[in-house]
Amino acid sequence: MKKKNPAFCHTKAFWMFVLPSLLLFGAFFLVPLGLSIWFSFTNYDGWKTMDFIGIKNYTSILTNADFYKTVTRTIIYTVCNLPFKIAIPLLLAALVTSSKLKGTTLVRTMIYIPVLFSALVAGITINWMFGQEYGLINFLLQKMGIEPLQWSLNPVLATVVISVASNWISAGYYMLMYVGGINNISKELYEAASVDGATKVQAFFRLTLPLLMPTTFIVLLLSTVNLLKEYALVQGISLGGPGSSTTYIVQYIFDQGFNQYRYGYASAAGIVISLLFIVIAMIQFKATKGGGEV
């Protein structure tokens, strides 16, 4: 009787384990991806029209000034927000892991609660708070004798509001990742540093920060992807306005697809943007050596 190859048995077990995930991944990611690629070569309008038009959508995107403006705006928004996405959770994590802090669990919970909010709900709430005419913030400013600010008219102020909201809603999530990272650092290292005369600040910069590089890499990667894909929050706060000053790339794609019924064009834009995102992620991998080496 022919003996079964152990390697084959292992492979079969492996596939049995991954099959459920693979099916879900295929149904909800790979199939839509395949459809998107197909739609991108058509003039699909979401219902009745779907003719093959070759690379027309791609040439149209690559010669569209609004597309480039939106991509540039998205990248600027991402780059400007990234330092805060890393620094704020890191500092919060350092705070909540400090032995000097009282009520650690309460503080951690308070910081984490915004993560549980739907981005759209948070956006609408922020929109109400920063409303130009009937908003809470302008009401308070006026009560204090200060001129109300033009949150809805000034592109910089509108972007600041979105950025603050984005950091507020995500800080708790990244903070937890850093807390896990900090807790994994051996206490002996700090004791050794202390014996060598290192101050707390020196220990933070020379020990904590370098040893948290793998965590920082993950936070950097996730933050980049999430900032590039910022949608629900913006939709709730500013609807991409004033004008198109807070319209980022996912809103642009959504608008082309679902408001202007250019599903083909929007799919092509999605593919182009996905490729751009991959390039950005690869650069991050390369620059940080996957977070594995410092």
Partner 1 sequence: MRKMLKKTMAGVMMMSLASAALAGCGGSSQSGSGATTAAAGGSAGPISGQTLQVMISEEPGEGDALGNALKKWSEESGNEIKQIIISHDDMLSKFPSMAKNNDLPDLVATTRLHQLYPEEFVDMSSVLDLSKFNESALKIVGKSYSSDAITGIPDQYTTTCMFYNQDAFQTAGIEVPTVENPWTWDELYENAKVLQEKGGVKYGFAADVSRARYDILMYANGGSLVQQDGDTFKVAVNSAENVATLERFVQANNEVMPKAIWAGGTTDNPVEYFKNGDAAILLSGSWNYNTFTTEISKFAFGVMPTPKGSAGQGAIIGGEALAIPANGKNVELAKQFIQWLFEDEHYTEFLQIRKEPSVMNDISYVPDTDKAKEDFAIIQNETNYVTDTFMVDESSSWRTYKDNEYRDAIKRAVAGEITPQEALDGFAKALSESSGWAVAN
Nearer to partner 1 by Cβ, of 50 and 164: the residue is 50
Nearest-angstrom CA–CA distance, 163 and 170: 11
- Could you say whether residue 59 binds partner 1 (CB under 8 A)? no
Torsion of CA 78, 79, 83, 89, to 10 degrees: 10
Task: Name which of 39 and 77 has its Cβ closer to partner 1.
Answer: 39
- Number of residues lying near partner 1 (CB under 8 A): 59
The burial class, CB within 10 Å (0-12 / 13-18 / 19+), for 70 is buried
Phi/psi for 42 (5° steps) reads -130, 170
Tokens of 197: 């005369």
In whole angstroms, the minimum distance from the beta carbon of 136 to partner 1 comes to 14
51: region left, alpha or beta (phi > 0 left; psi from -120 to 50 alpha) = beta
CB nearer partner 1, residue 114 or residue 242: 242
Which residues, numbered 15-44, are part of the site for partner 1 (CB under 8 A)? Answer: 28-33, 35-37, 39, 44
Sign (positive or negative) of CA dihedral 202, 206, 211, 215: positive
Contact (Cβ atoms closer than 8 angstroms) between residue 80 and residue 160: no
Shortest separation between residue 207's beta carbon and partner 1, angstroms: 27
Among positions 256-275, residues that touch partner 1 (CB under 8 A) are 257-261, 263, 266-267, 270-271, 273-275
Q: Which of 127, 215, 216, 251 binds partner 1 (CB under 8 A)?
A: 127
Restricting to residues 149-178, which ones interact with partner 1 according to CB under 8 A? 150-153, 158
- 119, 240, 251, 252: residue in contact with partner 1 (rule CB under 8 A): 240
State how far the Cα of 277 lies from the Cα of 28, in Å rounded to an integer: 19
Nearer to partner 1, 133 or 196 (CB): 133
Which of 243, 283, 287, 294 contacts partner 1 by CB under 8 A?
A: 243
Encoded tokens for 62? 């690559």
Helices (H), 40-152: 56-62, 65-96, 104-116, 119-129, 136-143
Residue 242 as a binder of partner 1 (CB under 8 A): the answer is yes
Q: CA distances (Å), 64 to each of 45, 59, 113, 246, 265, in order?
A: 19, 9, 41, 18, 12
Please say which residue, 117 or 258, places its beta carbon nearer to partner 1: 258
Binding site for partner 1 (CB under 8 A): 28-33, 35-37, 39, 44, 46-50, 127, 131-134, 150-153, 158, 221, 225, 229, 238-245, 250, 253-254, 257-261, 263, 266-267, 270-271, 273-275, 277-278, 281-282, 285, 290
